[in-house]
Amino acid sequence: MTTSDKVEDMIAVMSRSGWRITDQRRTLAKIFADNEGFLSPKDVYDLMKDKYPGVSFDTVYRNLRMLSEMGALEQFYFMEGGLKFKGSCFKHHHHHLICLECEKTITFDYCPMKQSMDLPESFKIMSHRFEIYGICGECQQQAE
């Protein structure tokens, strides 16, 4: 998938959610399309303020949270690094193995939600997240 395809996918999610597509929001989509890894709100703010010196950290953070809620971004919480975001994969449902050392992300198709569950109070699941944190093989070899 090309960078422009990723940007357009994010723009489409914003549009479907009723957002007006501004130059700043297009830039935000491009930042995530250009970066395969995780970005903290501070990382995104630093990249945004280069082009938009008047942008506030609160505005960037609020937009990241809203983009995550609408499904354009995935958010992850790292014990040491705090909250970070990554562009969503729109192709198929999957989950992640995340290395705590290098933050490498490996997707895998196993989904625990496919197992039958007896939920209390007729609870209806609308969405879910499942991540496994550990140390990737490469980082394990480097540690030896």
CB 77 within 8 A of CB 115: no
96 annotated as a binding-site residue = no
Contacts of 84 (CB under 8 A, 6+ apart): 38, 39, 40, 75, 76, 77, 78, 103
111 annotated as a binding-site residue = no
89 annotated as a binding-site residue = no
CB 58 within 8 A of CB 70: no
What is the rounded distance in angstroms from the CA atom of residue 14 to the CA atom of residue 66? 9
Residue whose C-alpha is closest to residue 97's, from 128, 39, 136? 136
Residue whose C-alpha is closest to residue 95's, from 72, 70, 112, 116? 112
102 annotated as a binding-site residue = yes
Known binding-site positions for Zn(2+): 99, 102, 136, 139
Known binding-site positions: 93, 99, 102, 128, 136, 139
Known binding-site positions for Fe cation: 93, 128
